Amino acid sequence: MAGNEPREDEAPPAAGSPSVHTVQLIRTAQTNTLLLSQMADGKANILIGATFVVFSLVITQAFSDEVKLSVICLAITSFLSAIFAVLAITPPIRARAIPNENFNPLFFSHFSLLREDEWIAGMLGKLRSDEGLYRVMLRDLYQNGQVLHRRKYRYLAIAYHLFLGGLGLTLVIYLVENGI
């Protein structure tokens, strides 16, 4: 028997009904999105650690008799990089109602604004049909992807560019300061 053929005791899918693989596809995409989010958080944490090590080394130089421009450059770019890395991993916290067209019943920051009975009733209403279930899952997937694209990876890229650019600029300034 081929893998896609229905068994004899199974009813064929109704015309126009989604494939049996639909939910699996959405769940796989959600899992991949979650993994990308975790990777971004891990990279941001590594960068935060690196910037604070550099910043700690710079602070010791700041109390010497002569503070060099290269040290100031390294301090500023490390600090700015740390700020953007923190922004990449800090979730937005809202204390106001979310417009209905943007409301995601699976996102804690949204459903925490509702009473429990309201949320349960709303979810049960959405889960009464396959289409309602798919809409909830797809909205969650889409919004998580938007957060990754518009916030996490954008801020993370800025943080890494600032850090690497700052290291490069610091090296150039150091070489000029020391006539090398």
pLDDT digits (tens, 9 = 90+) for 113-162: 889 999 999 999 998 998 888 999 999 999 999 999 999 999 999 999 99
Q: The pTM is what?
A: 0.78
The C-alpha atoms of residue 173 and residue 180 are separated, in whole angstroms, by 10
The whole-number pLDDT of residue 13 equals: 54
What residues contact residue 41 under an 8 Å CB cut-off, 6+ apart? 88, 89, 152
Mean per-residue pLDDT, 27-56 = 94
User: Which ranges of 63-129 does DSSP label H, i.e. alpha helix?
Assistant: 69-89, 108-111, 116-126
Task: Using the Cα atoms of residue 163, residue 164, residue 165 and residue 170 in order, give the sign of their dihedral.
Answer: positive
Range from 9-23, 35-49, 82-96, 109-123 carrying the lowest mean pLDDT? 9-23
The C-alpha atoms of residue 160 and residue 58 are separated, in whole angstroms, by 19
pLDDT single digits (tens) 58-86 = 888 877 778 889 999 999 999 999 999 99
| DSSP assignment letter at 20 | T
